[in-house]
Amino acid sequence: MAASPKEWVIGRQLLDTPARALRSKRSRSPGAQRRSVRAPVRAFLDALLQEDREAAFRIADEQLGILGSRAAVFAELIHPAQYEIGELWYRGEIGIDVEHRGTVIVEAILERLPPAAGRAANGPRCVVAAVGLEEHVVGLHMLAAALEDDGWEVTVLGRRTAEDQLLDVVNRIKPRLVCISAGYLPELAPVKRTVAQIKARGIPVLVGGAAFNRSDGLAERVGADAHGQDVRVALTLARRLAGR
């Protein structure tokens, strides 16, 4: 079930979050970019850059209390901060070691944020994976957590999922949706082949992650039914693709 052109537009319009505000031109100065984000994001970003786990945990916990859901924390706090870290690395202002240490803290936050209370059980099945040589899975785990809070039964395959492995799982559990995440996407062909084979089975494919956010039209080129630019957009599109 492919998303209509209208749904693609809706997906873009729904990205009216701090994450979108961060998509500024790379020629802007770091100071200008810092001023463009919400205060909690600035504080959280500083905590990640300084490897201050306690401060990062505190801010994430506070935002969960304010925003009310893990999906909102991912979209409003973690995603914009990670985007900014990626931009700093891209411009050579921080090393890859700093980026990796920030990722470790974010992974710890994902483990400590509690799931939604009273979430529905036995919902539609979904598979999430990073295909081929893809190593970046933080976004994938955020999406999996948000889907579970939304009542989905999620199978997480994780990084470097082989095409055959993903298709075997799809054939076995027959999910209503497959989500493919990519932060870097070192190889395009495996994702394109995998998407085509999944869709040939009548199962829609939703893609997301920094690789797709950076490159306009990449989701369409790999044949995906829709592109979730952040977790909340992905949840909305997932429901529509699954007919919920």
SS3 category, 46 = helix
Provide the token pair at 166. 């993903």
DSSP 116-129: PTT--SS--EEEEE
The per-residue pLDDT for 111 is 94
Q: Is-contact 233 11, C-beta < 8 A?
A: yes
What the chain holds in terms of domains, given with CATH numbers, is 7-112 (1.10.1240.10), 119-241 (3.40.50.280)
Residue-level pLDDT, tens digit, the chain, 244 residues: 444 433 333 333 333 333 333 333 333 333 334 445 688 999 999 999 999 999 999 999 999 999 999 999 999 999 999 989 988 988 899 999 998 999 999 999 999 999 987 666 678 999 999 998 888 899 999 999 999 999 999 999 988 999 999 999 999 999 999 999 998 888 889 999 999 999 999 999 999 998 899 888 999 999 999 999 999 999 999 999 998 7
Give the relative orientation of helices 96-112 and 138-149 as an angle to the nearest 10 degrees: 20
Residues 6+ apart with CB under 8 A from 130: 136, 137, 140, 157, 158, 159, 160, 161, 180, 181, 182, 183
One-letter identity of residue 76 = E
Give residue 119's pLDDT: 67
DSSP letter, residue 187: -
| Angle, CA of 32, 62 and 140, to the nearest 5° | 75
pLDDT computed for residue 121 by the predictor: 64
Residues 3 and 163: their CA atoms lie apart, in Å, by: 23
Selection from 133, 132, 158, 131 nearest residue 143 by Cα: 158
Residue 52: its pLDDT value, please? 97
Apex 205 CA angle, 5 and 110, nearest 5: 110
pTM, rounded to two decimals: 0.80
27, 166, 176 from 179: Cα distances, Å: 33, 11, 10
Could you tell me what percentage of the chain is helix, strand and coil, using 3-state DSSP and rounding each to the nearest 5?
Answer: 55, 10, 30
The pLDDT of residue 143 = 95
